[in-house]
Amino acid sequence: MGKYIVKRIAMGILSVFIVATLTFFLMNLVPGGPFVAEKSISKAAQEALEAKFGLDKPLLQRYTTYMTDFLHGDMGFSLRQRGRTVSDIIFSKFPVSARLAGIAVVVALCVGIPLGCISAYNRGKLADNFIIVLGTCGIAIPSFISSVLLLYTFGSWLKILPTMGLNDAVSYIMPVTALAIYPTAYITRLMRSSLLDVMGQDYIRTAKAKGLSSFMILFKHALRNALLPVIAYVGPMLASLMTGSFVVEKIFTIPGLGREFVSSITNRDYTMIMGTTIILAALVIAANVIVDILYKIIDPRIKLK
């Protein structure tokens, strides 16, 4: 077990390292630089700026400098937002995104799991069919479509919800809904199929024969095993929330990390691109590693490789 954990963590760190390396060389392949867009500055000033941030050095040298700095916890200064360090910006924007994603996760779990159970318990009946249709539609609608449609319906047509920012509790409703639709639909489908699978097992029949109520069977016996695939989905769910947050933050003008990432790419803000990519990738990879390890601890039936 210990060996597996060490191996899994080592592979996670390797993945983060590969992401960092790939990103570094890819972003330097992109034509244009951080200071090209500014027409107001002279060529000499531009060169001076590049020298200040070390952009005039050869690529490989910059790579090694960046990596050693990063390992020392220094992500450098933002090239476009003068005077602010990258870690500063990330730490100020991250809580916004994290809160949004966290609420979306809670909503997805609290809605998806019961819906899946209801669906499985009423297999083939009207409620089941209704939930299946909802789930299938939820998976088919991209998050940017749902956010734009929500914005149009509740923001500008009915005018009952604020269209931008995250100033009060009400303004969370639309972004969270838009973010949570896909994971909710996915969890519902996952929960339904895994619960149906578990309900066909012998030990459930034994529990029924013992005379347990269906409520007890669900909570004492079925749910524990049926929840395993949902736990395994937590990693991919974070990745999909991140994908969603890029557009949701853009549409609802929320000052979060996702918007920072997209704008840093269009601005060629090299240090910001590196910082946000590494942090986002590390988060998703860490979640995956933790889930993988937990999964083996929770379910001893899974063989350790």
> Site for other proteins (CB under 8 A): which residue of 116, 288, 291, 296?
288
Residues 6+ apart with CB under 8 A from 111: 180, 184, 188
Span near other proteins by CB under 8 A; candidates 10-18, 105-113, 116-124, 212-220:
10-18
Instruction: Say if CB 128 and CB 122 are below 8 A apart.
Output: yes
11 binds other proteins (CB under 8 A): yes
27 binds other proteins (CB under 8 A): yes
| For other proteins, the closer CB: 230 or 285 | 285
| For other proteins, the closer CB: 108 or 190 | 190
250 binds other proteins (CB under 8 A): yes
Sole residue written with tokens 């030990």: 203
- A 10 A CB-CB count for 236 gives 15
Residues 29-48 that bind other proteins (CB under 8 A): 29-31
Residue 31: CB minimum distance to other proteins, A: 5
For residue 166, what are its two tokens? 């995250």
CA atoms within 13 A on the CB side of 286: 6
163 binds other proteins (CB under 8 A): no
Instruction: Say if CB 53 and CB 80 are below 8 A apart.
Output: no
* Helix, coil or strand: residue 41: coil
239 binds other proteins (CB under 8 A): yes
Span near other proteins by CB under 8 A; candidates 69-77, 202-210, 280-288, 296-304:
280-288
110 binds other proteins (CB under 8 A): no
Q: Helix H segments across 53-85?
A: 59-71
For residue 236, what are its two tokens? 């991919």
- A 10 A CB-CB count for 37 gives 11
Q: How far is CA 109 from the centre of its chain?
A: 15
22 binds other proteins (CB under 8 A): yes
Q: Which of 26, 64, 100, 54 is nearest to 273 (CA)?
A: 26
4 binds other proteins (CB under 8 A): no
| For other proteins, the closer CB: 103 or 141 | 141
Amino acid at 73: G
Instruction: Say if CB 287 and CB 238 are below 8 A apart.
Output: yes
295 binds other proteins (CB under 8 A): no
> Site for other proteins (CB under 8 A): which residue of 139, 228, 232, 293?
139
14 binds other proteins (CB under 8 A): yes
Q: Which residues bind other proteins (CB under 8 A)?
A: 11-12, 14-15, 18-19, 22-23, 26-27, 29-31, 136-137, 139-145, 148-149, 151-152, 156, 193-194, 197, 239, 242-243, 246-247, 250-251, 261-262, 265-266, 273, 277, 280-281, 284-285, 288-289
